Chains A and B, each alone.
Chain A
Amino acid sequence: DAGVTQSPTHLIKTRGQQVTLRCSPISGHKSVSWYQQVLGQGPQFIFQYYEKEERGRGNFPDRFSARQFPNYSSELNVNALLLGDSALYLCASSLVGKNIQYFGAGTRLSVL
């Protein structure tokens, strides 16, 4: 079975632009979470979605938004990019109500 897949793997943007990152969960997993990992730090929780609704949100500005589709895939959108948004963005999926999350390889975003 395929694991969590994320696209693209790498992305270069300039300040002020907008970006969309995509995530496909493991088959059967209906919960998707997003994390930001700045170089040298642990991942920071951004959002959790299941059943297409936002179930949790971390301490991130409104420039960050996400959605989940009927097939349980998800997109993370970041508007008005700042240099500080440069990071590895990780998606994780899990079975609803289960506490083990499985991570994708991430999307490396560089903001110039």
Chain B
Amino acid sequence: AQSVTQLGSHVSVSEGALVLLRCNYSSSVPPYLFWYVQYPNQGLQLLLKYTSAATLVKGINGFEAEFKKSETSFHLTKPSAHMSDAAEYFCAVIPNSGGYQKVTFGTGTKLQVIP
């Protein structure tokens, strides 16, 4: 079964500092990978996706993620944190094997940005 592991349920960074949120997946076949962001009392917004094209994926709001097959990782980064980035971030996976599109989410990482 597909799964994703997000290391660190809470991450704090200073405004202007690098943001690094970690995600590792378990799958024998590279799946489709996603990062979603959830602001308080809101639904999920897609930040970026990896679908077996370029390994470095650029998303919205200055975020990007790099797919590394050898490390089974898909870490999310942003060079300079902004106060508006404070939210919860979820890594998610869909198996690259056809069938229905069950999305499996990680447990989430809450990002705090300190002024």
Residues of B within 8 A of A108 (CB): 41
Nearest-CB residue, chain B, relative to A97: B101
Asked if A100 and B49 sit within 8 Å, CB to CB, the answer is: yes
Alpha-carbon gap, A106 to B43, bound state (A): 6
Asked if B104 and A45 sit within 8 Å, CB to CB, the answer is: yes
Interface residues of A in 19-59 (CB under 8 A from B): 31, 33, 35, 41-45, 48, 55-56, 58
Residues of A within 8 A of B72 (CB): none
Indicate which residue in B46, B106, B107 contacts A100 across the interface (CB closer than 8 Å): B46
Q: How many residues of A contact B (CB 8 A)?
A: 25
Chain A's interface: helix, strand, loop or mixed, by majority?
Answer: strand
Asked if B45 and A99 sit within 8 Å, CB to CB, the answer is: no
Interface residues of A in 82-112 (CB under 8 A from B): 90, 92, 94, 99-106, 108
Interface residues of B in 14-53 (CB under 8 A from A): 32, 34, 36, 41-46, 49, 51
Contact digits for B83-115, partner A, Cβ 8 Å, 1 yes 0 no? 000000010101000011111111110000000
